[in-house]
Amino acid sequence: MNPLSETLPSFFHFVNLSGPQFTLILGILIFFGTWGGFLFKKLHIPQVVGYFIVGILVGNSGFQILRPQAVSALNPITTIALSFIGFLVGGELKGDVIKKNGKQFVSVLLFEAFTPAIIVCVLVTFIDFLFTKNFPRSLCVGLLLGAICSSTAPEATTNVLQEYRTRGPVTTMLYGIIAMDDAAALILYAIASTIASPILGGTSASFFSQLLSIFYDIFGSIALGLVVGFIASLIIKNIISDEGRALSFTLGILLLCTGICELVGLDNILSSMAVGFFIANFTAKNVRNIFKMASRFTPPIYVLFFVVVGARLDIWAMKPLLLILALAYVAGRTFGKALGSWFGAWITKAPLTIQKYMKYCLLSQAGVAIGLSVQAGNDFSDSVGNNILLVVTFTTFLVELIGPVFVKIGVTKAGEVGMNVTEEDIKQDTKVQDVTWGTEKACAKDSKAIVSDTDTIRSILDNFGSHHNHTFVVKDSEGNLSGVISLEHLKETLLIEELAESMLAMDIMDKPEYICPPELSLPDLYEKFAEFDSEAFPIADSQGKVLGVIEKFAVDHYLHNRILELQRKLTALDSA
């Protein structure tokens, strides 16, 4: 019994979502979910955890602002969100990378899927038998939970990878694993349910029938996705220059693909991955820009998805035995994923970062695990089905809280955070005060580009000859900005070199057209360069104290070096 469910007045609870109620609840979920993500990001915790917590508070485990019926009515949102996630994951599966690392990929995939399945099966069977003294029943519970635990959720994992802009061997391997280990979970569940059905008297179909169903599910979904991807590429290549229209077609095609999957019983995640995979590998380079366009559309979908997932969970339904089984499940799954991913990487001599840090990135579980637990609930409704559903639901609650945090830890330790950026991304995150030339900061009180108004032209020419700056800023005796001296001024003085010893900086300086604050962002700085048709500005603080000069060629040099530095790091990671 949830003690929080009746805390709020009745008008705060939504039972049926129709008309204005549906619009209102979508607004509430996105607004508060976004705030939750923002607050957790400020705490240096992945924002997906904030979305999940908000969902818990408004749903079955919390104040039940969304009653169970209302949560169920939001199921289409999760289906659509999973399709978009699958599409973006598919876009990360580059054929050349898979071909290059195929042996390592298959090895890690098999061991990280089967090792936790074996460990959880043994652990759960042993613990359940201690309490029930019914070995056949306990073995079935162990087999079913072992099969389900092998899946890894792509939703939370990809959200963290995108949030922290990761790139490198661990990220590449991770995208491949989360795309395919759900298939391993489906096969394992078919085997487990076939063994358990005659023991428990369930309604599970024969192994051969389930194998045919899995074959249809996997290969039918991939085939549909490849066909849809081919059609999408033909349309998008002719309209890619019109971003709005291209994005609209892409979203429409993904929704059509999702709807077809729902109608004919195929896997919408796998099908959407196939769409993304086809576009990423078999279309012109400019068509692949659609992934960047689509990623701009997905943030509110991510928020809704994780809030709804959190709202579904009911932690108050757990009994002592189920709680112990859930904790054993999480412990066995965590150890099994860590051991299996390490061994699979080690045996194929994968990069050290994969061997060391992949174990942190495989904890999340959600969509497929929940789906298989629901299937178990239906197949074994008269025996262990409900217990399986409760254990998987509760463990999903636990690992969705800690999983994203550990993904962040793993990719941070691997040195892959911030590696998937473009020059425009660096611009957005950089301020004038961050720009450097080698080890020298453009914005510094001791900058060599700062000269006194009483310095002679000769001393400035000597400084120019030994330094990269083309523009100098002039300060008065109190350190306040007086003016600027450009390269053109210095060229003119060379014509009257005999006066260089007697002329002072104040004699040739000009008043600046614009004074740049140190906290100005680089996109805004480039706008100022264009607005004033200038290549350099003096930097001064709010009190007018001169701090240096910012020059366009120096900023371009800084950005170019940052990109080269990232490329060197990626090369080092790949060869580690």
Q: Is residue 538 a contact partner of residue 488, using CB atoms and an 8 Å limit? A: no
Instruction: Quick: pLDDT tens for 314-360.
Output: 777 777 888 899 999 999 999 999 999 999 999 998 888 999 999 99
Best CA proximity match to 118, nearest among 380, 337, 324: 337
- The stretch 8-21 carries a mean pLDDT of 76
- Token look-up 């924002």 returns 47
SS3 for 255-268, per residue? Answer: HHHHHHHHHHCCCH
Q: Is residue 436 a contact partner of residue 558, using CB atoms and an 8 Å limit? A: yes
Determine how many CB atoms are found less than 10 A away from the CB of residue 208: 10
**What pTM value is reported for the model?**
0.73
Whether residue 258 has pLDDT greater than 60: yes
Task: State residue 491's pLDDT score.
Answer: 59
204 DSSP assignment: P
The C-alpha atoms of residue 415 and residue 541 are separated, in whole angstroms, by: 35
Task: State residue 4's pLDDT score.
Answer: 73
Sorting pLDDT into bands at 50, 70 and 90, what band is 263?
A: very high
Whether residue 121 has pLDDT greater than 90: yes
Determine how many CB atoms are found less than 10 A away from the CB of residue 293: 17
Best CA proximity match to 302, nearest among 152, 163, 177, 181: 163
Instruction: Quick: pLDDT tens for 65-114.
Output: 888 888 878 878 878 887 887 888 788 777 776 777 778 888 998 999 99
* Torsion over CA: 73, 76, 79, 82 (sign): negative
Q: How far is CA 298 from CA 44, 188, 539, in A?
A: 22, 32, 39
- The stretch 503-515 carries a mean pLDDT of 80
Whether residue 560 has pLDDT greater than 60: yes
Residue 380: phi and psi, rounded to 5, are: -125, 45
Stronger pLDDT, 376 or 564, i.e. the higher one: 564
The C-alpha atoms of residue 365 and residue 385 are separated, in whole angstroms, by: 19
Task: State residue 341's pLDDT score.
Answer: 93
Whether residue 203 has pLDDT greater than 70: no
The C-alpha atoms of residue 531 and residue 520 are separated, in whole angstroms, by: 15
* Beta-carbon contacts of residue 6 (< 8 Å; ≥ 6 apart): none
Best CA proximity match to 481, nearest among 506, 508, 456, 507: 506
The C-alpha atoms of residue 442 and residue 473 are separated, in whole angstroms, by: 12
The C-alpha atoms of residue 429 and residue 328 are separated, in whole angstroms, by: 43
* Residue 121 in tokens: 């099966």
The C-alpha atoms of residue 337 and residue 171 are separated, in whole angstroms, by: 16
Kind plus residue range of the DSSP H or E element containing 19: none
Task: State residue 497's pLDDT score.
Answer: 58
Q: Is residue 268 a contact partner of residue 76, using CB atoms and an 8 Å limit? A: no
444 DSSP assignment: -
- The CA dihedral of 117, 122, 125, 126, to the nearest 10 degrees, is -150
Kind plus residue range of the DSSP H or E element containing 11: none
- Token look-up 């991510």 returns 302
Residue 135, CB half-sphere, CA atoms under 13 Å: how many?
0
- The stretch 239-258 carries a mean pLDDT of 82
The C-alpha atoms of residue 314 and residue 318 are separated, in whole angstroms, by: 8
Helix residue ranges, H only, 414-483: 423-429, 457-465
- Average pLDDT of the chain is 83
Stronger pLDDT, 298 or 125, i.e. the higher one: 125
Identity of the residue numbered 85: I
The C-alpha atoms of residue 436 and residue 432 are separated, in whole angstroms, by: 9
